[in-house]
Amino acid sequence: MKTALIIGRFQPFHLGHLKLIEIAANNVDKLIIGIGSSQEGNTKENPFTANEREKMIKNSVNIKIPYEIIPIPDVNNDKIWVSHVKKLLPEFNVVYTNGKLERNLFSDAGIEVRSTEIFNRDMYSGTEIRRRMVSGENWEYLVPKGTAETIKRIGGVERVKGLYSV
Ligand code: ATP
Ligand code: MG
């Protein structure tokens, strides 16, 4: 039995995140999706709350293995990050990440880390999608359908625009 952990801020959840989750799901038995910076919401860098991000994920992910979504607040201290995460989560055996710092922190703690290719990084990027929302460009095709619907339902684009204008 292998359980994988994937942590992201998912601001918003996009097709790069979905691919990472699908690859992990094809290689393990159980998945934990950690919502990073979960205390944040309604800010420029973190427009969506943990609850809203959870909804985006639930409305988008369709994998065959069981998964759970758990909020992970920041501790702003790399030295205690891994133990902080372990305290909040059920047991996991492997971390899927394409982030260098995250890779280093987990592998230094003796936890197996796996990476995937980076998919269409110019576009499948939270930063790029937020920028497109602000400038009125197309963004819907960069996120799963269920995420686009969730964002529209909560007035997400207007919110992101408003947060960038102050
Ligand atoms: P932001 O631009 O706001 O930092 P992001 O798109 O980088 O958002 P994160 O929440 O920082 O998304 O990333 C969560 C995880 O998903 C990380 O392991 C990251 O490496 C991975 N990831 C993000 N985008 C892609 C992508 N396009 N292809 C593969 N993995 C990705
Ligand atoms: Mg990032």
Query: What are the pLDDT digits (tens) for 78-109?
Result: 999 999 999 999 999 999 999 999 999 999 99
Identity of the amino acid at 158 = E
What's the pTM?
0.97
Q: What is the pLDDT of residue 55?
A: 98
166: pLDDT strictly greater than 80: no
Tens of pLDDT, residue by residue over 117-146, are 999 999 999 999 999 999 999 999 999 999
Tens of pLDDT, residue by residue over 8-37, are 999 999 999 999 999 999 999 999 999 999
Contact 53, 70 (CB under 8 A): no
Task: Extract the tokens encoding 28.
Answer: 């393990």
In this structure, which ligand is nearest to the CA of 17?
Answer: 1
Ligand 2 centroid from CA 96, angstroms: 14
Contact 49, 150 (CB under 8 A): no
Task: Tell me which DSSP letter residue 75 carries.
Answer: -
Ligand 1 centroid from CA 156, angstroms: 19
Correct CATH for 3-164 of 3.60.130.10, 3.40.50.2300, 3.30.830.10, 3.40.50.620: 3.40.50.620
Q: Which atom of ligand 1 is nearest to the CA of 130?
A: 3
- Pocket of ligand 1, beta carbon within 6 A: 8-11, 16-17, 20, 97-99, 116, 118-121, 124-127
